[in-house]
Amino acid sequence: MHENDVMICRCEEVMLEEIRAWIEKGYSNFDELKRILRVGMGPCQGRGCRDILLRELSRATGKPIGEINPGTIRPPVKPIKLGLCAYGREVDAK
Amino acid sequence: MNENRSADAIIVGGGVHGASAAYHLAKSGIKAVLFEKEYLSSGGSGRSAAGLRQHFGTEVNCRLAKYNLECFSTLEEELGGEFRMEFAQWGYLWVAYTEESMAQLEKNVALQRSLDIPSENLTPGEMKNRWPYLNVDRMIGAAFCAEDGHINPHALTMGYARAAERLGTIVKTYSPVEKLISSGGKITGVSAAGEIWNAPRVLLTAGPWSTPLAATVGVELPVTPERHNLLVTEQIEPFNCPMTLCLDDGAYFKQLPNGSFFFGRDDPDEPKTTESGNSAKFLEGVTRSVLQRIPALKGVRVIHQWSGPYDVTPDHQAIIDWTPVDGLWVNCGWSGHGLQFGPSGGRLAKEMFFGEKTFVDIRSFRLGRFAEGDLFMEPAFI
Protein backbone atom coordinates (compact mmCIF):
# COMPACT_ATOMS: atom_id res chain seq x y z
CA MET A 1 0.00 0.00 0.00
CA HIS A 2 1.33 3.42 -0.94
CA GLU A 3 1.70 5.94 1.86
CA ASN A 4 -0.75 8.31 0.17
CA ASP A 5 -3.51 5.71 0.44
CA VAL A 6 -3.57 6.00 4.22
CA MET A 7 -6.80 7.33 5.70
CA ILE A 8 -5.88 10.14 8.07
CA CYS A 9 -9.29 11.22 9.30
CA ARG A 10 -11.47 8.18 9.84
CA CYS A 11 -14.55 10.15 10.85
CA GLU A 12 -14.67 12.04 7.57
CA GLU A 13 -12.66 9.56 5.47
CA VAL A 14 -9.93 11.93 4.38
CA MET A 15 -6.86 10.41 2.69
CA LEU A 16 -3.25 11.50 3.14
CA GLU A 17 -3.08 12.12 -0.61
CA GLU A 18 -5.85 14.74 -0.45
CA ILE A 19 -4.23 16.43 2.51
CA ARG A 20 -0.89 16.66 0.73
CA ALA A 21 -2.54 17.95 -2.45
CA TRP A 22 -4.27 20.81 -0.60
CA ILE A 23 -1.15 21.71 1.38
CA GLU A 24 0.65 21.84 -1.97
CA LYS A 25 -1.97 24.34 -3.20
CA GLY A 26 -1.04 26.66 -0.36
CA TYR A 27 -3.62 25.81 2.32
CA SER A 28 -1.03 25.42 5.04
CA ASN A 29 -3.00 25.83 8.25
CA PHE A 30 -4.92 23.25 10.27
CA ASP A 31 -8.09 25.37 10.41
CA GLU A 32 -8.08 25.94 6.64
CA LEU A 33 -7.66 22.24 5.85
CA LYS A 34 -10.43 21.49 8.32
CA ARG A 35 -12.79 23.83 6.49
CA ILE A 36 -11.93 22.45 3.06
CA LEU A 37 -11.66 18.72 3.79
CA ARG A 38 -13.70 18.39 7.01
CA VAL A 39 -10.64 16.71 8.55
CA GLY A 40 -11.08 16.84 12.34
CA MET A 41 -14.77 17.85 12.12
CA GLY A 42 -16.20 14.41 12.92
CA PRO A 43 -17.20 12.83 16.23
CA CYS A 44 -13.58 12.40 17.40
CA GLN A 45 -12.91 16.13 16.90
CA GLY A 46 -9.42 15.56 15.58
CA ARG A 47 -8.19 13.23 18.32
CA GLY A 48 -7.11 10.74 15.68
CA CYS A 49 -5.89 13.04 12.95
CA ARG A 50 -4.69 16.29 14.46
CA ASP A 51 -1.16 15.12 15.27
CA ILE A 52 -0.71 13.46 11.88
CA LEU A 53 -1.94 16.58 10.12
CA LEU A 54 0.35 18.84 12.13
CA ARG A 55 3.27 16.58 11.23
CA GLU A 56 2.36 16.89 7.54
CA LEU A 57 2.14 20.67 7.87
CA SER A 58 5.51 20.69 9.63
CA ARG A 59 7.05 18.63 6.85
CA ALA A 60 5.60 20.87 4.14
CA THR A 61 6.47 24.20 5.73
CA GLY A 62 9.76 23.26 7.39
CA LYS A 63 8.52 24.65 10.71
CA PRO A 64 8.80 22.61 13.90
CA ILE A 65 5.46 21.13 15.03
CA GLY A 66 5.50 23.30 18.14
CA GLU A 67 5.30 26.43 15.99
CA ILE A 68 2.30 25.27 13.96
CA ASN A 69 -1.11 26.50 15.00
CA PRO A 70 -2.92 23.35 16.20
CA GLY A 71 -6.35 24.75 15.33
CA THR A 72 -9.31 25.50 17.54
CA ILE A 73 -10.58 22.88 19.97
CA ARG A 74 -14.26 23.38 20.65
CA PRO A 75 -16.64 22.23 23.38
CA PRO A 76 -18.11 19.87 24.33
CA VAL A 77 -15.06 17.73 25.04
CA LYS A 78 -16.83 14.64 23.76
CA PRO A 79 -20.11 14.13 21.91
CA ILE A 80 -23.15 14.21 24.19
CA LYS A 81 -26.80 13.57 23.53
CA LEU A 82 -28.92 16.63 22.82
CA GLY A 83 -31.52 15.46 25.34
CA LEU A 84 -28.87 15.45 28.03
CA CYS A 85 -27.90 19.04 27.17
CA ALA A 86 -31.51 20.14 27.34
CA TYR A 87 -32.82 18.30 30.38
CA GLY A 88 -29.67 17.33 32.30
CA ARG A 89 -30.58 13.66 32.27
CA GLU A 90 -30.78 10.71 29.89
CA VAL A 91 -34.03 10.65 27.98
CA ASP A 92 -35.67 8.05 25.84
CA ALA A 93 -34.49 8.66 22.25
CA LYS A 94 -37.95 7.79 20.95
CA MET B 1 1.48 45.07 -9.99
CA ASN B 2 2.95 43.15 -7.09
CA GLU B 3 6.30 44.94 -7.39
CA ASN B 4 5.12 48.52 -7.02
CA ARG B 5 2.29 47.64 -4.63
CA SER B 6 -0.44 49.37 -6.57
CA ALA B 7 -3.69 48.18 -8.06
CA ASP B 8 -6.89 49.40 -9.74
CA ALA B 9 -8.78 48.46 -6.61
CA ILE B 10 -8.11 47.11 -3.15
CA ILE B 11 -10.62 44.94 -1.34
CA VAL B 12 -10.39 44.70 2.45
CA GLY B 13 -11.88 41.51 3.88
CA GLY B 14 -11.81 37.93 2.58
CA GLY B 15 -15.33 36.89 3.41
CA VAL B 16 -17.88 36.05 0.76
CA HIS B 17 -18.57 39.67 -0.20
CA GLY B 18 -14.90 40.54 -0.69
CA ALA B 19 -14.20 37.34 -2.60
CA SER B 20 -17.26 37.76 -4.82
CA ALA B 21 -16.36 41.41 -5.52
CA ALA B 22 -12.83 40.30 -6.49
CA TYR B 23 -14.30 37.74 -8.86
CA HIS B 24 -16.79 40.13 -10.47
CA LEU B 25 -14.16 42.84 -10.89
CA ALA B 26 -11.64 40.37 -12.32
CA LYS B 27 -14.19 39.13 -14.85
CA SER B 28 -14.46 42.75 -16.05
CA GLY B 29 -10.71 43.08 -16.37
CA ILE B 30 -10.07 44.85 -13.06
CA LYS B 31 -7.25 43.20 -11.18
CA ALA B 32 -7.74 43.93 -7.53
CA VAL B 33 -5.71 43.03 -4.51
CA LEU B 34 -7.73 41.40 -1.74
CA PHE B 35 -6.46 41.50 1.84
CA GLU B 36 -7.66 39.08 4.48
CA LYS B 37 -6.39 39.18 8.05
CA GLU B 38 -6.48 35.40 8.48
CA TYR B 39 -7.68 32.85 5.94
CA LEU B 40 -10.61 33.15 3.53
CA SER B 41 -14.00 32.69 5.25
CA SER B 42 -12.40 32.90 8.71
CA GLY B 43 -14.84 35.63 9.88
CA GLY B 44 -18.61 35.76 9.79
CA SER B 45 -18.95 34.02 6.40
CA GLY B 46 -17.41 30.72 7.45
CA ARG B 47 -19.07 30.79 10.86
CA SER B 48 -22.59 31.31 9.56
CA ALA B 49 -25.48 28.84 9.44
CA ALA B 50 -24.99 28.84 5.66
CA GLY B 51 -28.63 29.41 4.83
CA LEU B 52 -30.04 30.62 1.53
CA ARG B 53 -33.47 32.17 1.68
CA GLN B 54 -35.86 34.41 -0.16
CA HIS B 55 -37.99 35.03 2.89
CA PHE B 56 -37.46 38.71 3.60
CA GLY B 57 -39.85 41.47 4.48
CA THR B 58 -38.34 44.26 2.39
CA GLU B 59 -38.47 44.44 -1.38
CA VAL B 60 -34.78 45.08 -2.02
CA ASN B 61 -33.74 42.01 -0.03
CA CYS B 62 -36.33 39.85 -1.79
CA ARG B 63 -35.15 41.00 -5.22
CA LEU B 64 -31.48 40.43 -4.41
CA ALA B 65 -32.26 37.08 -2.75
CA LYS B 66 -34.07 35.88 -5.86
CA TYR B 67 -31.00 36.76 -7.93
CA ASN B 68 -28.67 35.01 -5.44
CA LEU B 69 -30.65 31.82 -5.67
CA GLU B 70 -30.55 31.90 -9.47
CA CYS B 71 -26.74 32.00 -9.22
CA PHE B 72 -26.18 29.23 -6.66
CA SER B 73 -27.34 26.29 -8.77
CA THR B 74 -24.60 26.79 -11.37
CA LEU B 75 -21.94 28.41 -9.22
CA GLU B 76 -19.81 25.32 -8.59
CA GLU B 77 -19.27 24.93 -12.33
CA GLU B 78 -18.90 28.66 -12.97
CA LEU B 79 -16.15 28.95 -10.36
CA GLY B 80 -14.15 26.06 -11.79
CA GLY B 81 -15.43 23.06 -9.83
CA GLU B 82 -12.51 23.02 -7.39
CA PHE B 83 -14.77 23.31 -4.35
CA ARG B 84 -17.91 21.28 -3.73
CA MET B 85 -20.69 23.75 -2.98
CA GLU B 86 -23.08 21.18 -1.42
CA PHE B 87 -25.98 23.30 -2.67
CA ALA B 88 -29.28 21.85 -1.44
CA GLN B 89 -32.85 23.14 -1.53
CA TRP B 90 -34.74 21.67 1.42
CA GLY B 91 -36.67 24.86 2.08
CA TYR B 92 -37.07 27.44 4.83
CA LEU B 93 -39.92 27.08 7.30
CA TRP B 94 -40.73 30.04 9.57
CA VAL B 95 -43.05 28.99 12.38
CA ALA B 96 -45.18 31.30 14.51
CA TYR B 97 -46.53 30.83 18.05
CA THR B 98 -48.16 34.25 18.32
CA GLU B 99 -50.71 36.13 16.24
CA GLU B 100 -48.25 38.96 15.92
CA SER B 101 -45.52 36.77 14.41
CA MET B 102 -48.02 35.08 12.11
CA ALA B 103 -49.27 38.44 10.85
CA GLN B 104 -45.70 39.43 10.03
CA LEU B 105 -45.05 36.16 8.21
CA GLU B 106 -48.23 36.60 6.16
CA LYS B 107 -47.19 40.12 5.23
CA ASN B 108 -43.74 38.90 4.18
CA VAL B 109 -45.21 36.08 2.09
CA ALA B 110 -47.58 38.51 0.32
CA LEU B 111 -44.60 40.70 -0.60
CA GLN B 112 -42.56 37.70 -1.75
CA ARG B 113 -45.39 36.37 -3.93
CA SER B 114 -45.81 39.79 -5.54
CA LEU B 115 -42.14 39.45 -6.59
CA ASP B 116 -42.60 35.92 -8.01
CA ILE B 117 -41.04 34.14 -5.04
CA PRO B 118 -42.97 30.88 -4.49
CA SER B 119 -43.58 31.23 -0.75
CA GLU B 120 -46.73 29.96 0.94
CA ASN B 121 -48.49 30.11 4.28
CA LEU B 122 -49.12 26.78 6.00
CA THR B 123 -51.44 25.66 8.77
CA PRO B 124 -50.14 23.39 11.56
CA GLY B 125 -52.07 20.51 9.94
CA GLU B 126 -50.36 21.07 6.60
CA MET B 127 -47.00 21.17 8.34
CA LYS B 128 -47.68 17.91 10.16
CA ASN B 129 -48.53 16.26 6.83
CA ARG B 130 -45.32 17.37 5.18
CA TRP B 131 -42.96 16.92 8.12
CA PRO B 132 -44.55 14.38 10.49
CA TYR B 133 -41.53 14.55 12.83
CA LEU B 134 -42.24 18.19 13.73
CA ASN B 135 -44.12 18.92 16.92
CA VAL B 136 -46.62 21.60 15.88
CA ASP B 137 -48.34 21.93 19.28
CA ARG B 138 -49.25 25.56 20.02
CA MET B 139 -48.05 26.69 16.58
CA ILE B 140 -50.42 29.02 14.77
CA GLY B 141 -48.96 28.60 11.33
CA ALA B 142 -45.88 29.04 9.21
CA ALA B 143 -44.38 30.48 6.06
CA PHE B 144 -42.53 28.14 3.73
CA CYS B 145 -40.44 28.52 0.60
CA ALA B 146 -39.32 25.24 -0.97
CA GLU B 147 -36.62 26.85 -3.14
CA ASP B 148 -34.56 28.05 -0.18
CA GLY B 149 -31.64 26.03 1.10
CA HIS B 150 -28.00 25.58 1.99
CA ILE B 151 -24.50 26.09 0.59
CA ASN B 152 -21.04 25.33 1.98
CA PRO B 153 -19.83 28.77 3.11
CA HIS B 154 -16.11 27.94 2.88
CA ALA B 155 -16.45 26.52 -0.61
CA LEU B 156 -18.49 29.55 -1.64
CA THR B 157 -15.93 32.06 -0.33
CA MET B 158 -12.81 30.18 -1.38
CA GLY B 159 -14.39 29.32 -4.73
CA TYR B 160 -14.96 32.98 -5.56
CA ALA B 161 -11.45 33.90 -4.41
CA ARG B 162 -9.73 31.13 -6.38
CA ALA B 163 -11.71 32.00 -9.51
CA ALA B 164 -10.63 35.63 -9.08
CA GLU B 165 -7.00 34.54 -8.64
CA ARG B 166 -7.12 32.58 -11.87
CA LEU B 167 -8.24 35.83 -13.55
CA GLY B 168 -5.32 37.78 -12.11
CA THR B 169 -6.50 39.00 -8.70
CA ILE B 170 -3.88 38.95 -5.96
CA VAL B 171 -5.28 37.37 -2.79
CA LYS B 172 -3.21 38.05 0.29
CA THR B 173 -4.24 35.98 3.29
CA TYR B 174 -2.80 36.44 6.80
CA SER B 175 -2.36 40.10 5.79
CA PRO B 176 -4.32 42.30 8.17
CA VAL B 177 -5.05 45.83 7.01
CA GLU B 178 -4.10 48.13 9.88
CA LYS B 179 -5.55 51.28 8.38
CA LEU B 180 -6.96 52.92 5.29
CA ILE B 181 -5.07 55.87 3.84
CA SER B 182 -6.59 59.01 2.37
CA SER B 183 -5.27 62.33 1.20
CA GLY B 184 -7.25 65.48 0.51
CA GLY B 185 -10.56 63.66 0.96
CA LYS B 186 -9.59 60.88 -1.46
CA ILE B 187 -8.68 57.31 -0.69
CA THR B 188 -5.16 56.43 -1.78
CA GLY B 189 -4.66 52.93 -0.43
CA VAL B 190 -4.15 50.88 2.69
CA SER B 191 -1.45 49.82 5.06
CA ALA B 192 -1.45 46.03 5.26
CA ALA B 193 0.94 43.85 7.22
CA GLY B 194 3.23 46.86 7.48
CA GLU B 195 3.27 47.58 3.73
CA ILE B 196 1.68 50.53 1.93
CA TRP B 197 -0.47 49.53 -1.05
CA ASN B 198 -1.93 52.15 -3.40
CA ALA B 199 -5.22 52.17 -5.26
CA PRO B 200 -7.68 54.89 -6.32
CA ARG B 201 -10.60 52.73 -5.17
CA VAL B 202 -10.92 50.74 -1.95
CA LEU B 203 -13.84 48.46 -1.10
CA LEU B 204 -14.47 47.66 2.54
CA THR B 205 -16.10 44.24 3.03
CA ALA B 206 -14.79 43.43 6.46
CA GLY B 207 -18.06 42.72 8.26
CA PRO B 208 -17.90 44.00 11.86
CA TRP B 209 -14.19 44.82 11.43
CA SER B 210 -15.26 47.46 8.86
CA THR B 211 -16.19 49.93 11.60
CA PRO B 212 -12.70 50.49 13.11
CA LEU B 213 -11.13 50.44 9.64
CA ALA B 214 -13.52 53.09 8.25
CA ALA B 215 -12.80 55.20 11.31
CA THR B 216 -9.11 55.39 10.30
CA VAL B 217 -10.18 57.78 7.50
CA GLY B 218 -12.90 59.49 9.53
CA VAL B 219 -15.89 57.52 8.21
CA GLU B 220 -18.38 56.51 10.86
CA LEU B 221 -20.23 53.25 10.22
CA PRO B 222 -23.09 52.32 12.59
CA VAL B 223 -22.07 48.67 12.43
CA THR B 224 -21.46 46.75 15.64
CA PRO B 225 -20.45 43.15 16.31
CA GLU B 226 -22.76 40.69 18.03
CA ARG B 227 -21.68 37.16 18.86
CA HIS B 228 -23.96 34.30 17.82
CA ASN B 229 -23.58 30.59 18.59
CA LEU B 230 -24.27 27.42 16.65
CA LEU B 231 -23.92 23.72 17.31
CA VAL B 232 -23.50 20.81 14.94
CA THR B 233 -24.53 17.21 15.59
CA GLU B 234 -23.21 13.88 14.43
CA GLN B 235 -24.40 12.76 11.01
CA ILE B 236 -27.64 10.83 10.81
CA GLU B 237 -29.65 9.58 7.84
CA PRO B 238 -30.64 12.65 5.77
CA PHE B 239 -34.39 13.23 5.72
CA ASN B 240 -34.24 16.69 4.12
CA CYS B 241 -35.41 18.53 7.23
CA PRO B 242 -35.87 22.17 6.16
CA MET B 243 -34.34 25.14 7.96
CA THR B 244 -36.99 25.73 10.63
CA LEU B 245 -36.96 29.10 12.37
CA CYS B 246 -39.01 30.72 15.05
CA LEU B 247 -39.24 34.50 15.31
CA ASP B 248 -40.80 34.17 18.77
CA ASP B 249 -37.69 32.79 20.48
CA GLY B 250 -34.98 33.24 17.84
CA ALA B 251 -34.17 29.53 17.64
CA TYR B 252 -33.60 27.63 14.41
CA PHE B 253 -32.41 24.26 13.15
CA LYS B 254 -31.76 22.51 9.87
CA GLN B 255 -30.31 19.33 8.49
CA LEU B 256 -27.24 19.56 6.27
CA PRO B 257 -26.71 17.51 3.11
CA ASN B 258 -24.29 15.23 5.03
CA GLY B 259 -26.98 14.42 7.62
CA SER B 260 -25.69 16.59 10.51
CA PHE B 261 -27.97 19.14 12.14
CA PHE B 262 -27.22 22.76 12.94
CA PHE B 263 -28.99 24.39 15.91
CA GLY B 264 -28.80 28.10 16.60
CA ARG B 265 -30.51 30.56 18.89
CA ASP B 266 -30.31 34.30 19.37
CA ASP B 267 -29.34 35.44 22.83
CA PRO B 268 -29.44 39.15 23.67
CA ASP B 269 -27.01 38.52 26.55
CA GLU B 270 -24.21 37.38 24.26
CA PRO B 271 -21.18 39.69 24.28
CA LYS B 272 -21.01 42.37 21.59
CA THR B 273 -17.66 41.27 20.27
CA THR B 274 -15.84 40.00 17.21
CA GLU B 275 -13.98 37.53 19.43
CA SER B 276 -15.18 34.01 18.83
CA GLY B 277 -15.65 32.09 22.01
CA ASN B 278 -18.21 29.79 23.51
CA SER B 279 -21.08 30.22 25.92
CA ALA B 280 -21.73 27.27 28.18
CA LYS B 281 -25.37 28.26 28.62
CA PHE B 282 -25.94 28.21 24.86
CA LEU B 283 -26.11 24.40 24.73
CA GLU B 284 -28.91 24.11 27.28
CA GLY B 285 -30.99 26.97 25.88
CA VAL B 286 -30.80 26.00 22.26
CA THR B 287 -31.40 22.29 22.79
CA ARG B 288 -34.48 23.02 24.97
CA SER B 289 -35.95 25.27 22.30
CA VAL B 290 -35.22 23.03 19.35
CA LEU B 291 -36.09 19.67 20.90
CA GLN B 292 -39.57 21.02 21.63
CA ARG B 293 -40.06 21.27 17.88
CA ILE B 294 -38.22 18.12 16.81
CA PRO B 295 -38.18 15.75 19.82
CA ALA B 296 -36.91 12.80 17.77
CA LEU B 297 -33.41 14.29 17.87
CA LYS B 298 -33.09 13.80 21.65
CA GLY B 299 -30.74 10.84 21.28
CA VAL B 300 -28.52 12.45 18.63
CA ARG B 301 -25.17 13.74 19.85
CA VAL B 302 -23.81 17.24 19.64
CA ILE B 303 -20.28 17.22 18.20
CA HIS B 304 -19.24 20.79 18.83
CA GLN B 305 -20.38 24.38 19.18
CA TRP B 306 -18.82 27.53 17.79
CA SER B 307 -19.59 31.19 17.41
CA GLY B 308 -19.20 34.00 14.95
CA PRO B 309 -19.95 37.70 14.75
CA TYR B 310 -22.94 39.34 13.09
CA ASP B 311 -22.27 42.87 11.77
CA VAL B 312 -25.39 44.60 13.00
CA THR B 313 -26.86 47.94 11.89
CA PRO B 314 -29.72 49.81 13.61
CA ASP B 315 -32.26 48.61 11.01
CA HIS B 316 -30.72 45.15 10.42
CA GLN B 317 -30.03 46.11 6.82
CA ALA B 318 -26.76 46.24 4.92
CA ILE B 319 -24.86 49.37 3.99
CA ILE B 320 -23.80 49.39 0.33
CA ASP B 321 -22.63 52.81 -0.70
CA TRP B 322 -19.80 55.17 -1.54
CA THR B 323 -18.57 56.98 1.58
CA PRO B 324 -17.74 60.68 2.00
CA VAL B 325 -14.10 59.73 1.29
CA ASP B 326 -13.80 59.78 -2.49
CA GLY B 327 -13.05 56.31 -3.88
CA LEU B 328 -13.94 54.40 -0.70
CA TRP B 329 -17.02 52.25 -0.84
CA VAL B 330 -18.48 49.78 1.64
CA ASN B 331 -20.56 46.63 1.65
CA CYS B 332 -21.15 45.49 5.22
CA GLY B 333 -23.69 45.51 8.03
CA TRP B 334 -25.69 42.52 6.78
CA SER B 335 -26.80 41.80 10.35
CA GLY B 336 -26.65 38.02 10.13
CA HIS B 337 -28.03 37.26 6.67
CA GLY B 338 -25.02 38.31 4.61
CA LEU B 339 -23.51 35.05 3.37
CA GLN B 340 -26.26 34.33 0.90
CA PHE B 341 -25.98 37.83 -0.59
CA GLY B 342 -22.46 37.10 -1.86
CA PRO B 343 -23.50 36.76 -5.50
CA SER B 344 -25.40 40.05 -5.58
CA GLY B 345 -22.85 41.82 -3.36
CA GLY B 346 -20.08 41.08 -5.83
CA ARG B 347 -22.15 42.09 -8.81
CA LEU B 348 -23.17 45.36 -7.15
CA ALA B 349 -19.53 46.13 -6.26
CA LYS B 350 -18.57 45.71 -9.91
CA GLU B 351 -21.46 47.87 -11.13
CA MET B 352 -20.62 50.60 -8.62
CA PHE B 353 -16.93 50.50 -9.59
CA PHE B 354 -17.85 51.22 -13.23
CA GLY B 355 -20.54 53.74 -12.34
CA GLU B 356 -23.22 51.55 -13.94
CA LYS B 357 -26.87 51.49 -12.99
CA THR B 358 -27.17 48.71 -10.40
CA PHE B 359 -29.31 45.71 -11.41
CA VAL B 360 -31.54 46.28 -8.37
CA ASP B 361 -32.26 49.71 -6.90
CA ILE B 362 -30.17 49.78 -3.72
CA ARG B 363 -30.69 53.41 -2.68
CA SER B 364 -32.30 52.17 0.54
CA PHE B 365 -28.92 50.68 1.57
CA ARG B 366 -27.25 54.10 1.49
CA LEU B 367 -25.01 55.18 4.33
CA GLY B 368 -26.76 58.53 4.69
CA ARG B 369 -30.01 56.94 5.89
CA PHE B 370 -28.83 56.88 9.50
CA ALA B 371 -28.13 60.61 9.62
CA GLU B 372 -31.39 61.29 7.78
CA GLY B 373 -33.36 59.10 10.16
CA ASP B 374 -34.65 57.13 7.17
CA LEU B 375 -34.20 53.61 8.52
CA PHE B 376 -35.95 50.69 6.84
CA MET B 377 -36.25 47.75 9.22
CA GLU B 378 -35.90 44.21 7.95
CA PRO B 379 -38.58 42.28 9.85
CA ALA B 380 -37.31 38.83 8.83
CA PHE B 381 -34.23 39.09 11.02
CA ILE B 382 -32.93 36.26 13.15
pTM to 2 decimal places? 0.96
Q: From the CA of A72, how many Å to the nearest CA of chain B?
A: 10
Task: Please name the amino acid found at residue A61.
Answer: T
Q: Which residues contact B52 (CB under 8 A, 6 or more apart)?
A: B68, B69, B72, B148, B149, B150, B151, B340
Domains of chain B: total: 2
Is B115 found in the same domain as B202? no
Q: Indicate if ipTM > 0.95.
A: no
Evaluate whether residue B119 is within a structural domain. Answer: yes
Question: What whole-number distance in Å separates Cα of residue B64 and Cα of residue B17?
Answer: 14
When CB atoms are compared, the residue of A29, A81, A92 closest to B301 is A81
CATH number of the domain that residue A33 is part of: 1.10.10.1100
Per-residue confidence (pLDDT) for residue B17, from 0 to 100: 98
Is B302 found in the same domain as B238? yes
Last residue of a domain, one of B260, B295, B310: B310
Is B141 found in the same domain as B162? no
Is B136 found in the same domain as B230? yes
Angle between helices B153-166 and B342-353 (to 10 degrees): 30
Mean pLDDT for the stretch of residues A64-80 = 92
Domains of chain A: total: 1
CB contact A41 to B (< 8 Å): yes
- Report the chain B residue with the minimal C-alpha distance to residue A88: B284
Q: Could you list the residue range(s) of the whole structural domain that residue B239 is in?
A: 90-148+225-310
Mean pLDDT for the stretch of residues A12-18 = 94
- Report the chain A residue with the minimal C-alpha distance to residue B258: A12
* Other Cβ atoms closer than 10 A to B281: 11
CATH number of the domain that residue B132 is part of: 3.30.9.10
Contact flag A74-B304 (C-beta cutoff 8 Å): yes
In order along its 382 residues, chain B shows pLDDT tens digits of: 456 799 999 999 999 999 999 999 999 999 899 999 999 999 999 999 999 999 999 999 999 999 999 999 999 999 999 999 999 999 999 999 999 999 999 999 999 999 999 999 999 999 999 999 999 999 999 999 999 999 999 999 999 999 999 999 999 999 999 999 999 999 999 999 999 999 999 999 999 999 999 999 999 999 999 999 999 999 999 999 999 999 889 999 999 999 999 999 998 889 999 988 888 899 999 999 999 999 999 999 999 999 999 999 999 999 999 999 999 999 999 999 999 999 999 999 999 999 999 999 999 999 999 999 999 999 998 8
CA distances from B255 to B118, B168, B266 (A): 21, 37, 18
Evaluate whether residue A94 is within a structural domain. Answer: no
Residues of B in contact with A34 (CB under 8 A): none
Q: From the CA of B81, how many Å to the nearest CA of chain A?
A: 13
- Examine the pLDDT at A93 and tell me if it is beyond 60: no
* A64: phi then psi, degrees, rounded to nearest 5: -65, 150
Evaluate whether residue B107 is within a structural domain. Answer: yes
Question: What whole-number distance in Å separates Cα of residue B238 and Cα of residue B29?
Answer: 43
Evaluate whether residue B164 is within a structural domain. Answer: yes
Contact flag B302-A83 (C-beta cutoff 8 Å): no
Is B248 found in the same domain as B266? yes
Mean pLDDT for the stretch of residues A69-74 = 90
Helix ranges restricted to H, chain B: 16-27, 44-47, 59-78, 99-114, 124-130, 153-166, 210-215, 280-293, 342-353, 369-372
In chain B, % helix, strand, coil (3-state, to 5) comes to 30, 25, 40
Contact flag A81-B300 (C-beta cutoff 8 Å): yes
Q: Could you list the residue range(s) of the whole structural domain that residue A19 is in?
A: 3-87
When CB atoms are compared, the residue of B41, B297, B304 closest to A82 is B297
Per-residue confidence (pLDDT) for residue B2, from 0 to 100: 52
Evaluate whether residue A9 is within a structural domain. Answer: yes
